[in-house]
């Protein structure tokens, strides 16, 4: 049994949401080396790297897979925005079921189909973060009437502008959910009255009765709406992590993800390749291996940890 202690360096899954025009896209653009999948065309006047605007859900999925296939193309993938992406998802469900509207499929069934498609996309994005690429998803916020089942009355609260099926799933998927809003500053005048001085943009990092938010890094409840406020949580690198990233550099993304997940080193794979007779030069890096060897490793990965242990045991020298 292997026990790992302390913090580990992983890519982060972030959801940024708030009212229209508050600067969600701008905040996302401050993340390390961002690449935008702009579903609504909101970055047209921003100096950022972007892919062609997807017009279908299938095209959006292809773009995510393309980024996964070329992990060096960016350090952060930004999907801007989730609610416009969900529109593409719903449109594809309607096309699949040959109906003009999601409600025509039957009570709740259409949104269930959309939820399944949305879930598969989140799985793809999780694979991206597992390979070391941050994922940021922006979304609009909307005010909804909320009623506690055990209390009298109701109150308004800010929520993601998504369906009731997809919103909870997106919040659960994220490591960090940031709610951005304007905070009005109220001052007391010389006459004792109070008046609004202005509004500043802030982001909330923890849950409140009036909004959803969360983080796993012990951030303050309220922060200025600026990337510098969260940089330390996004770019945290424990001792030794950078060395590991360099060690896996250039290796096929799918194979690299499996190696990192199971703590298999490049030396382990070299030893296996030599023992199998796949290569003769034990000094050649895994990044230079032919595609057929890489595929063999990936296809038979469930046997790799045992093979590593077997080779390690055979090389062990017993004490006399």
What are the pLDDT digits (tens) for 173-182? 999 999 999 9
Upper half-sphere CA count for residue 21 (Cβ side, 13 Å): 1
How many angstroms separate the CA atoms of 271 and 266, rounded?
Answer: 9
- Give the pLDDT band of residue 1 (cuts 50, 70, 90): very low
- Give the pLDDT band of residue 197 (cuts 50, 70, 90): low
pLDDT value of position 223: 93
Beta strand 134-146 pairing with 49-50: unpaired
What share of the chain has pLDDT > 90, as a percent? 45
Angle (CA) 315 317 320, round 5°: 165
Show me where the domains of the chain are located.
13-234, 241-315
DSSP 165: T
Q: Does domain 13-234 have CATH number 3.90.1210?
A: no
Closest of 179, 182, 184 to residue 158, by C-alpha: 179
Contact 143, 157 (CB under 8 A): yes
Contact 296, 278 (CB under 8 A): yes
pTM equals 0.69
pLDDT reading at 74 higher than 90: yes
| pLDDT tens for each residue of 269-294 | 888 888 888 887 667 788 888 889 89
Q: What beta strand segments (E) does the chain contain?
A: 13-18, 34-38, 49-50, 76-80, 134-146, 155-160, 176-188, 194-204, 222-224
- Mean pLDDT across 114-143: 93
Angle (CA) 270 273 278, round 5°: 140
């Amino acid at each position: 049994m292997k026990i790992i202690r302390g913090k580990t360096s992983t890519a982060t899954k972030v959801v940024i949401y708030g009212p229209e025009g508050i600067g969600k896209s701008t905040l996302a653009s401050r993340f390390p080396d961002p690449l935008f999948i702009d579903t609504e065309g909101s970055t047209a006047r921003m100096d950022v790297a972007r892919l062609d605007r997807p017009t279908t859900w299938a095209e959006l999925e292809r773009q995510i897979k393309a980024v996964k296939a070329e992990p060096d193309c960016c350090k952060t993938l930004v999907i801007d925005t989730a609610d416009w992406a969900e529109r593409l998802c719903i449109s594809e469900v309607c096309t699949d079921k040959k109906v003009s509207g999601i409600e025509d499929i039957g009570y709740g069934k259409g949104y269930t189909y959309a939820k399944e498609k949305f879930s598969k996309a989140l799985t793809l994005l999780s694979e991206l973060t597992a390979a070391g690429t941050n994922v940021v998803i922006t979304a609009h916020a909307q005010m909804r009437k909320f009623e506690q089942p055990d209390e009298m009355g109701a109150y308004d609260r800010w929520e993601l502008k998504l369906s009731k099926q997809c919103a909870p799933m997106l919040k659960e998927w994220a490591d960090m959910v940031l709610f951005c809003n304007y905070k009005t500053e109220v001052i007391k005048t010389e006459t004792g009255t109070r008046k609004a001085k202005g509004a500043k943009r802030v982001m909330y990092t923890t849950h409140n009765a009036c909004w959803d938010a969360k983080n796993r890094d012990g951030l303050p409840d309220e922060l200025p709406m600026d990337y510098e406020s969260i940089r330390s949580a996004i770019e945290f690198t424990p001792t030794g992590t950078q060395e590991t990233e360099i060690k896996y550099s250039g290796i096929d993304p799918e194979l690299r993800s499996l190696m990192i997940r199971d703590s298999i080193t490049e030396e382990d794979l070299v030893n296996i390749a030599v023992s199998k007779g796949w290569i003769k030069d034990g000094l050649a890096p895994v990044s230079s291996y032919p595609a057929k060897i890489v595929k063999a490793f990936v296809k038979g990965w469930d046997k790799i940890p045992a093979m590593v242990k077997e080779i390690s045991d055979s090389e062990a020298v017993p004490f006399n």
